Amino acid sequence: MDKTQLKTQKFIVKFFPEVMIKGTKAKRQMINQIYNNIKSLMDKISEDITIKKFFDKVEVVCAIEVVDEVRQKLIQTPGVELVLEAIQIDNVSTLDEIKVKVNEFMGGEIEGKTFVVRAKRSGTHEFKSTNIEQTVGGYMLANNDTKGVKLKDAEVTINLELIEKQLNIITYRHKGLGGFPIGTQGSILSLMSGGFDSTVASYLTMKRGVKTHFIFFNLGGVAHEIGVKQVAYYLWNKFGSSHRVSFISVPFEDVVTEIFRSTNESYMGVTLKRLMFMAASKIADNMKIDAIMTGESIAQVSSQTLRNLALIDQVTKKLVLRPLCTMNKPEIIDIAENIGTRRFAETMPEYCGVISKNPVTHGSFDKMEQEAKKFDYSVLDKAIENSKETYVDKMVDNINDEVGQLEVVNDIAGKNYTIIDIRQGQNCLEIADVEILKIPFYNLKKEFKKLPLEKEYLLYCDKGILSQLHGQYLRDSENYTNIKVYRPKEK
């Protein structure tokens, strides 16, 4: 039987080793949470996906049509160490049945190659794992044109798991995200600027199982906010969508104006960070969150010396986490590249730097106290009062309310549109007799300037969300009016 004839695909999800060495109660809690998180994610893909929980793994069986989406979600789920793809064969009880079934599915994989068979079993059988390996290996060697069995460094390793009468042939192994499942380590409020540091820091807490909410201090207008919402949505959708989290936007333009009025220019940068911490702490109180987080790294900028960090931390009683504090910038950029946020960060303006003129690098506690007394904190209170909270999964609706929704086109028949496929790493959309351009979202701003302005363009992505965000960004930052969103009707 050809593997392509299979109608379903089985995934075996192995847990992060640190989960398995926990005490009985903590381990049970984490395994239950991983199961619940996977179920939540799978339910969003299809109601027909079957999920089973065991003491050391979770098994997921899905239709072939959704394999790619299921695989990607499992690999990116915190708490998962390995994702194995397997062919499941039921009701096999003898070595003869096993050898025939394995050869049926895997014989073609070893043609012209060296191979080895590795087997594990659990349950009651009249044979051992080594018997499976020897019997299957000998049968496949006799029935296929191979270069022979090679116990070490073979070109193909055939991995088998026999559980009572169920045989699993492992076809692929994928490295998981690791860490702990979201929902087991509490919540944190991440100060999000949209640059390299804050996005990587947020990813690291999500990976560690911390439910990560986002707070954004708006210094750069609507376009900047849309840009930050793009990357917040991206992070949540990729690594944390098993849980609902919030995005809080705090208008900070008047706060900056008050800093210029009241504060010595060398202390402006530290003062800005202190005020952000004060606002974040009050909002975290309202959300019943015990910790706040930043992407600060020691000595990266003037406000991030040890002394200045100490001055900043004075204003809050919250636990402050800085996951990147000892990382170098190249290390941070490498992580951003791996998780897909580098393209966002490279086009994100750094507004915090606009007031860092002649900054102090080793601030004085006494001087800071004097500067702090000059500030009118009613301005900060008003900014907090005017903050807006929305769930990240409702982000586009929230943006639409604020800046107006781009028109969504469902049917392009008989119309002269040019479609721009903004997805990253996927084959370009194809529609007969329609001009379609492939411009990944991270190149859109630069490449759109080169396109004929007299044409009308439809932005396309899988769900229409990033198309809305990027389209609104182009409209509000560059004043383009010839952009709509293409979202074909579901079949």
Q: What is the distance between the alpha carbons of residues 406 and 396, in angstroms, rounded to a whole number? A: 10
Please tell me whether residues 337 and 426 are part of one structural domain: no
Please tell me whether residues 264 and 303 are part of one structural domain: yes
Please tell me whether residues 215 and 305 are part of one structural domain: yes
Q: Residue 412: inside a domain, yes or no?
A: yes
Please tell me whether residues 227 and 354 are part of one structural domain: yes
Query: What does the buried/exposed string (b/e) look like for 187-220 if buried means 16 or more CB atoms within 10 Å of the residue's CB?
Result: bbbbbbbbbbbbbbbbbbbbbbbbbbbbbbbbbb
Q: Residue 182: inside a domain, yes or no?
A: no
Task: State the binding site.
Answer: 191-192, 273, 295, 304
> For residue 369, what are the contacts with CB-CB under 8 A and spacing of at least 6?
none
Rounded to two decimals, what is the model's pTM? Answer: 0.80
Number of structural domains in the chain: 3
Q: Residue 181: inside a domain, yes or no?
A: no
Please tell me whether residues 135 and 100 are part of one structural domain: yes
Mean pLDDT of 255-278: 92
Of 325, 352, 428, 461, the active-site residue reads 461
Listed range (142-151, 200-209, 320-329, 357-366) with the worst mean pLDDT: 357-366
Q: How far from 31 is each of 11, 120, 176, 212, CA to CA, in Å?
A: 16, 22, 15, 20
Residue 39 pLDDT > 90: yes
DSSP 8-state code for residue 464: S
CATH code of the domain containing 474: 3.40.250.10
Q: Name the packing angle between helices 196-207 and 221-235 (round to 10°).
A: 30
> For residue 248, what are the contacts with CB-CB under 8 A and spacing of at least 6?
189, 213, 214, 215, 216, 283, 387, 388, 389
Active site residue 461: yes
Task: State the binding site for ATP.
Answer: 191-192, 273, 295, 304
CATH code of the domain containing 318: 3.40.50.620
Please tell me whether residues 364 and 223 are part of one structural domain: yes
DSSP 8-state code for residue 236: I
Residue-wise pLDDT tens digits, 201-247: 999 999 999 999 999 998 866 767 888 898 999 999 999 999 999 99
Please tell me whether residues 167 and 192 are part of one structural domain: no
Please tell me whether residues 365 and 225 are part of one structural domain: yes
Please tell me whether residues 168 and 229 are part of one structural domain: no
Q: Name the packing angle between helices 465-478 and 395-403 (round to 10°).
A: 30
**pLDDT recorded at residue 1:** 44
Q: Residue 397: how many CB atoms within 10 A of its CB?
A: 12
Q: How many CA atoms lie within 13 A of 486 on its CB side?
A: 23
**pLDDT recorded at residue 354:** 45
Residue 250 pLDDT > 90: yes
**pLDDT recorded at residue 472:** 77
Please tell me whether residues 359 and 468 are part of one structural domain: no
Mean pLDDT of 83-110: 94
Of 371, 396, 421, the residue at which a domain comes to its end is 396
Range(s) of the domain holding residue 78:
3-175
On whether the CB atoms of residues 24 and 128 are closer than 8 A, the answer is no
Residue-wise pLDDT tens digits, 357-405: 678 889 999 999 999 999 999 999 999 999 999 999 888 666 555 545 6
Q: Residue 180: inside a domain, yes or no?
A: no
Please tell me whether residues 109 and 130 are part of one structural domain: yes
Please tell me whether residues 378 and 410 are part of one structural domain: no
Of 342, 364, 396, the residue at which a domain comes to its end is 396
Q: Name the packing angle between helices 306-313 and 268-286 (round to 10°).
A: 40
Of 134, 154, 175, the residue at which a domain comes to its end is 175
